[in-house]
């Protein structure tokens, strides 16, 4: 029986592979928190295109000092979400509200091929952890199944990127997934969506474990398409 509450350290191979930032995301810096909260306000349209982002006002809104806010704005500028003029005036770039949708389109281009390439190449100890995680995340099996299902979502995609044999693809996919927690924080995943996602993830693990690259490609393509269909035109994917 799995533990009543989800514990990612039950899967030691995955923990070593993915790193502490994934295993224990609560240990984030204030700059990380500020970055995510500002971006979520942009995605929700509360900080619209062209809005000026003043550090004093943002710090007050977030309940923190200006220093982590300034660090967050620097990261958002580096990503192209925020533009900063020579006089350091920061504004929201046009189209920034579609950031998560845009990232998902990048994933649709890359992840099916990564799934095909990694099939049959993932070490046995990692596959064993994935298979155990699939069982622990089964809808309704334990009190913590929703948390396990979200962790399966992130973990499976990152493992696929890790063993896809393409370092550039790995880096881009990991970068895309660094924003995924915003989807969870926005409450986009109902139990029904998590249940559907679990079925798709379980099938992907089965195909990859069997070394069936073509099936893994098709399943990943369908999985990512289903995620878009489930948003009904929304900005949270």
Last residue of a domain, one of 47, 65, 94: 94
Separation CA 155–CA 115 (nearest Å): 13
State the CATH number of the domain containing residue 198. Answer: 1.20.120.530
Tokens of 129: 């952890």
**Whether 201 and 163 share a structural domain:** yes
**Predicted pLDDT of residue 181:** 79
Last residue of a domain, one of 75, 94, 113: 94
**Predicted pLDDT of residue 21:** 74
Tokens of 110: 């890359």
**Predicted pLDDT of residue 231:** 65
Separation CA 151–CA 134 (nearest Å): 10
Separation CA 89–CA 156 (nearest Å): 40
**Whether 75 and 117 share a structural domain:** no
Are the beta carbons of 81 and 38 closer than 8 angstroms? Answer: no
Separation CA 185–CA 237 (nearest Å): 12
**Whether 114 and 46 share a structural domain:** no
Per-residue pLDDT of the chain (237 residues; tens, 9 = 90+): 444 578 899 999 999 998 877 777 667 889 999 999 999 999 999 999 999 999 999 999 999 999 999 999 999 999 999 998 877 799 999 999 999 999 999 999 999 999 999 999 999 999 999 999 999 999 988 887 988 999 999 999 999 999 999 999 999 999 999 888 788 777 666 788 889 999 999 999 999 999 999 999 999 999 999 988 766 556 677
Provide the whole-model pTM. Answer: 0.89
**SS3 assignment for 51-97:** CECCHHHHHHHHCCCHHHHHHHHHHHHHHCCEEECCCCCEEECCCHH
End-to-end Cα distance, the chain: 32
Domain, as residue range, for 120: 98-231
Last residue of a domain, one of 94, 111, 138: 94
CB atoms within 10 A of CB 158: 19
**Whether 109 and 220 share a structural domain:** yes
**Predicted pLDDT of residue 1:** 43
State the CATH number of the domain containing residue 38. Answer: 1.10.10.10
């Amino acid at each position: 029986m799995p533990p009543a509450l989800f514990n990612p350290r039950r899967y030691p191979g995955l923990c070593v592979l993915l790193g502490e930032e994934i295993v224990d995301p609560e240990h984030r810096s204030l700059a990380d928190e500020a970055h995510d909260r500002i971006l979520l306000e942009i995605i929700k349209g509360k900080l619209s295109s062209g809005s000026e982002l003043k550090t004093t006002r943002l710090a007050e809104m977030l309940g923190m000092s200006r220093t982590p806010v300034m660090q967050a704005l620097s990261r958002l500028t580096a990503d192209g979400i925020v533009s900063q003029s020579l006089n350091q005036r920061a504004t929201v770039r046009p189209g920034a509200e579609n950031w998560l949708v845009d990232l998902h389109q990048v994933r649709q281009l890359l992840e099916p091929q990564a799934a095909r390439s990694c099939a049959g190449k993932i070490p046995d100890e990692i596959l064993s952890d994935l298979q155990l995680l699939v069982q622990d995340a089964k809808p309704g099996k334990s009190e913590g199944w929703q948390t396990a299902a979200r962790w399966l979502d992130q973990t499976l995609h990152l493992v696929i990127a890790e063993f896809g044999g393409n370092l550039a693809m790995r880096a881009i996919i990991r970068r895309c997934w660094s924003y995924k927690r915003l989807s969870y924080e926005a409450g986009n995943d109902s139990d029904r969506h998590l249940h559907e996602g679990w079925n798709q993830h379980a099938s992907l693990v089965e195909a990859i474990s069997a070394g069936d690259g073509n099936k893994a490609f098709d399943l990943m393509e369908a999985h990512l398409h289903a995620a878009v269909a489930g948003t009904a035109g929304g900005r949270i994917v």
